[in-house]
């Protein structure tokens, strides 16, 4: 079965790598310029497309605007992907290191490769996307410009990977959420993780009561993120990721914490993703 998946960025981006990792080689990616566009296109009526959206990075932390987009959408989380981000220096075939005068890439990719880049007197040019940088040097047959991008970008645009794994931090993972319209989403077999959002009444100890009930249920709270509630005076909602052994355990803990919350929404119940290196 061929899957259509909306991604932020262009072909060859890490979003595409994550989509291929989750859905397999028979995946058609639909590039979107922004995360907002990704969300909007995933919820189009009478369309079975899914979305792949980055949500946090092990170095940079949470992508807070994307949690906001998730809160406002009518989408369900059906899975997640943890992807190690390996940055590579790409050039057109025949280009040598001594030929390079400029390096183009997204600001974050350039920052991730600072130690390597400082060895050379290259001009660093910030662009909107790693994969787009690779595509541009291929299209223009650049002889003196390199790009920092994924191995997939090198394959797609027939570029030479002149220096692999040039990133400074070796343990750099990005977590992606797999999204689907709630009306299309089906129960995920063997689910052992869930994402929820809740509000308390903000009385003394109200949040502690919720967290205590989660711990007493032997459920692992793998993430807790707070967000200001718009229009309130410094009141917050909380996003929580819960890891559990079986659905009965999850249903019980949800019932237990309902009494201590004034609002609770389940964004999705899915299988815990595994940390994997790129091939």
Q: 30-39, 161-170, 176-185, 270-279: lowest mean pLDDT where?
A: 270-279
Average pLDDT, the chain: 93
Q: What is the pLDDT of residue 278?
A: 45
CB 177 within 8 A of CB 80: yes
| Distance (Å) of CA 138 to CA 92, 125, 135, 159 | 6, 16, 5, 7
Is pLDDT of 279 > 50?
A: no
Q: What is the pLDDT of residues 117-130, one digit of tens each?
A: 999 999 999 999 99
Rounded CA gap, 273 and 24, in Å? 15
Rounded CA gap, 243 and 191, in Å? 9
Q: What is the pLDDT of residue 46?
A: 61
Is pLDDT of 1 > 70?
A: no
How many other β-carbons are positioned within 10 Å of the β-carbon of residue 91? 26
Q: What is the pLDDT of residue 104?
A: 98
Q: What is the pLDDT of residue 122?
A: 97
Element (H, E) at 151: helix 151-156
81 against 235, higher pLDDT: 81
Confidence tier at 59 by pLDDT (50, 70, 90): confident
Q: Three-state DSSP class for 35?
A: helix
Structure tokens at 238: 């909380």
What are the residues facing 194 on neighbouring strands? 242, 269
Q: What is the pLDDT of residue 231?
A: 84
Q: What is the pLDDT of residues 153-188, one digit of tens each?
A: 999 999 999 999 999 988 889 999 999 999 899 999
What are the structural domains, with CATH classification, of the chain? 3-85+172-186 (3.40.190.10), 88-163 (3.40.190.10), 193-270 (3.30.70.260)
Is pLDDT of 22 > 90?
A: yes
Q: What is the pLDDT of residue 37?
A: 95
Element (H, E) at 107: helix 107-112
CB 139 within 8 A of CB 10: no
Do you know the residue count of the chain?
279
Q: What is the pLDDT of residues 189-244, one digit of tens each?
A: 999 999 999 999 888 999 999 999 999 999 999 999 999 988 888 889 999 999 99
240-264 average pLDDT score: 96
Q: What is the pLDDT of residue 267?
A: 97
Q: 12-21, 40-49, 163-172: lowest mean pLDDT where?
A: 40-49
Confidence tier at 151 by pLDDT (50, 70, 90): very high
Is pLDDT of 50 > 60?
A: yes
Rounded CA gap, 240 and 105, in Å? 33
pTM of the complete model: 0.91
What sign for the dihedral angle of Cα 212, 214, 60, 66?
negative
Confidence tier at 60 by pLDDT (50, 70, 90): confident
49 against 144, higher pLDDT: 144
CB 85 within 8 A of CB 172: yes
């Amino acid at each position: 079965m061929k899957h259509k998946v909306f991604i932020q960025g262009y072909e060859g981006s890490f979003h595409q790598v994550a989509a291929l990792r989750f859905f397999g080689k028979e995946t058609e990616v639909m590039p979107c310029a922004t995360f907002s566009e990704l969300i909007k296109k995933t919820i189009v009526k009478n369309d079975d497309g899914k979305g792949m959206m980055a949500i946090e990075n092990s170095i940079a932390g949470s992508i807070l605007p994307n949690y906001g987009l998730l809160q406002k959408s009518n989408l369900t989380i059906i899975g997640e992907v943890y992807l190690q981000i390996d940055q590579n220096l790409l050039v057109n075939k025949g280009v040598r290191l001594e030929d390079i005068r400029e390096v183009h890439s997204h600001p974050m990719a350039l920052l991730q490769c600072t130690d390597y880049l400082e060895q050379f007197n290259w001009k660093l040019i910030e662009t909107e996307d790693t994969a787009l940088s690779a595509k541009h040097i291929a299209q223009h047959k650049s002889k003196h410009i390199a790009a920092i991008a994924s191995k997939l970008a090198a394959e797609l645009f027939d570029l030479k990977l002149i220096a692999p794994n040039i990133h400074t931090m070796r343990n750099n993972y990005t977590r992606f959420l797999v999204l689907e319209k709630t009306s299309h989403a089906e129960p995920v077999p063997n689910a052992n993780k869930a994402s929820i959002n809740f509000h308390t009444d903000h009385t003394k100890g109200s949040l502690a009561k919720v967290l205590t009930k989660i711990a007493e249920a032997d459920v692992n709270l793998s993430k807790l993120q707070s967000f200001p509630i718009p229009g309130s005076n410094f009141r917050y909602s909380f996003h929580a990721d819960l890891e559990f052994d079986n659905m009965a355990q999850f249903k019980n803990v949800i019932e237990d914490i309902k009494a201590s919350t004034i609002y609770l929404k389940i964004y999705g119940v899915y299988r815990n993703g595994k940390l994997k290196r790129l091939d």
